Amino acid sequence: MNDTLDEREAFASFLLRLRGKGIVARELIGAFEATPRHAFVPDRWRSAAWSEGMIPIECGEALEGPDLQAEIIGALAIEPGHRVLEVGSGSGFTAAVMSRLAARVVTVERYKTLTELARQRFEALGIVNAFVRQADGSQGLAAEGPFDRIVVWASFDSLPRNFTDQLASGGVMIAPIGPDEDVQTLAKLTKIGSRFEREDVGSVRFQPIVRSVAAAI
């Protein structure tokens, strides 16, 4: 059995899991199918690329499982003209997926190594509407806003009100809110006027957001 067949079977299993969770949006599934996940994981973990668990990547970080990524990206309800901000690039995989759905994706990463690797992957795949920045994403990226959608792959201890001004009217932000070392609530925050309307869409356990840029790596 060759690697390509293994990957197809693993992807088919992923689709079955999504269907079991009621995630059937054709555009979302097409975006995942068009993004070769194996290109975003270390070679030693390639066979586990489409499994539910997290995968270790460079800089001591980890890539969330594709099921959770699909749930969160699906909840964002990205439309073709949207401008998206992602905080926490990781391997660059989720930004690559979202670039198939949106007009423009800007993804922020604190580690230089991860920033460069994500940029190389985007270039290798011919993705021209996803841009990675090394920056402190805890405050967003006001200079490149406003954004129609914002997603943060790290938790806040309270409502991130400082992001309100970076969302367009009617824009949506998804971020975990809760204690650092416990289960957090995944909040969907819709901008109504100058405030957020909150809807809780799940529970996660993410690392707390770090308010700095990595100095060395």
What is the pLDDT, as a whole number, of residue 110? 96
d(CA 190, CA 170): 6
Whether 216 shows a pLDDT value over 70: the answer reads: no
Indicate the SS3 state at residue 3. helix
Q: Is residue 213 part of a domain?
A: no
Q: Taking the CA atoms of the chain, what radius of gyration do you get in angstroms?
A: 16
Q: Is residue 114 part of a domain?
A: yes
Q: Is residue 39 part of a domain?
A: yes
What is the pLDDT, as a whole number, of residue 2? 45
Q: Show Cβ contacts of residue 94 under 8 Å, excluding neighbours closer than 6 positions.
A: 64, 69, 73, 86, 107, 151, 153
- Determine the average pLDDT of the residues in 157-162: 92
- What's the domain count of the chain? 1
What is the pLDDT, as a whole number, of residue 6? 86
Mean pLDDT, all residues of the chain: 94
Q: What is the pLDDT of residues 170-210, one digit of tens each?
A: 999 999 999 988 999 999 999 999 889 999 999 999 999 99
Whether 214 shows a pLDDT value over 50: the answer reads: yes
- Determine the average pLDDT of the residues in 71-98: 98
Q: Is residue 138 part of a domain?
A: yes
Whether 1 shows a pLDDT value over 60: the answer reads: no
Phi-psi region of 190 (alpha: psi -120 to 50; beta: other; left: phi over 0): beta
Q: Is residue 212 part of a domain?
A: no
CATH of the domain at 75: 3.40.50.150
Q: Is residue 74 part of a domain?
A: yes
Q: Show Cβ contacts of residue 79 under 8 Å, excluding neighbours closer than 6 positions.
A: 101, 102, 148
Q: Is residue 217 part of a domain?
A: no
Q: Is residue 131 part of a domain?
A: yes
Domain residues for the domain of 199 are 3-204
pTM of the entire structure?
A: 0.95
Whether 3 shows a pLDDT value over 70: the answer reads: no
Q: Which run of H or of E encompasses 30?
A: helix 26-33
Question: How far from 81 is each of 41, 84, 143, 154, 206, CA to CA, in Å?
Answer: 29, 10, 19, 26, 29
